[in-house]
Amino acid sequence: MRHSLAVFLLLTLTACSMLDPLPTGNASDSSKHLSAEELYHQAKTELDDNNFSQAIKLYEALQSRYPYGQYAQQSMLEMAYAYYRDSEPDPAISTADRFIKQFPNNPRVDYAYYVKGLATFNGELSILSSVAGQDKSERDPQSAQESFKAFKELITRFPDSKYSPDARVRMQYLVNSLARHELHVAGYYLRRGAYIAALNRAQGILKDYPNSPATLEALEIMANAYDGMGMTDLRDDTRRVLAVNAARGGNVASGKPEHSWWQFWK
């Protein structure tokens, strides 16, 4: 768990350094008299000062009053980022989605995909839960899946984006989390004596996540499931495969290992 926390902290620091708000107060009654340029610069100042809630109010006012002005697109991107930093993943995602839909040809649309992935990632793998000792892999994997898909769309559409390398690292982290989730489910079935269900889940890990650390435990579950069903030949075969892979210190890979975890999502 300490290793997972260290990885997450590293990823978070990386994202914050990459997600410098896009280039260049308080939201009060006086803001109604401000021009689009003045509103934008006030919002940007609040964003730079990490006053995210205040920045959001100003960006919302700008979007409402000047939806088609020269600052509209820029402010929408920065508002999505402000929502993300203010720990409001749902509006961050919806704002990023709105930008992608309305401005698909904007040269910074890759930023919108990245913020969308980060907002879901942050909700799924928060520091608070990690510190509390909660294993996120025990929860519903939907958030991890959605985050993975957003990052995948980013690197598929914009492989040369400056955000793509970090997205790839986060995707692998999410794959490992999803594999651990499957391990929890397989282990549950094994403890209940539902050997076929446990076997199917464990085999799915080998097929879908062959380069994740979960593969060795999946083989162990398979061996125990075969043993529970009295299938001693398959049990012994599985344990031989487990011994070989444990000795190599690796995972059960097939095809092109560096891309095998990707194939499941195509």
Is 0.85 topped by the overall pTM?
A: no
The SS3 assignment for 144 reads: helix
What confidence score (pLDDT) does residue 99 get?
Answer: 96
Whole-angstrom Cα distance, residue 12 to residue 224?
38
Say whether pLDDT at 220 is over 70. yes
Confidence of residue 251 (pLDDT cuts 50, 70, 90): low
What confidence score (pLDDT) does residue 177 get?
Answer: 87
Say whether pLDDT at 260 is over 50. no
DSSP state of 32: G
The mean pLDDT of 185-211, rounded to a whole number, is 94
Write the Ramachandran bin of 140: left for phi over 0, alpha for psi from -120 to 50, otherwise beta: beta
Confidence of residue 8 (pLDDT cuts 50, 70, 90): low
Say whether pLDDT at 26 is over 80. no
What confidence score (pLDDT) does residue 263 get?
Answer: 35
Write the Ramachandran bin of 127: left for phi over 0, alpha for psi from -120 to 50, otherwise beta: alpha
Whole-angstrom Cα distance, residue 12 to residue 215?
27
- 200-207: long-range pairs with CB below 8 Å, 24+: 205/179, 206/252, 207/264
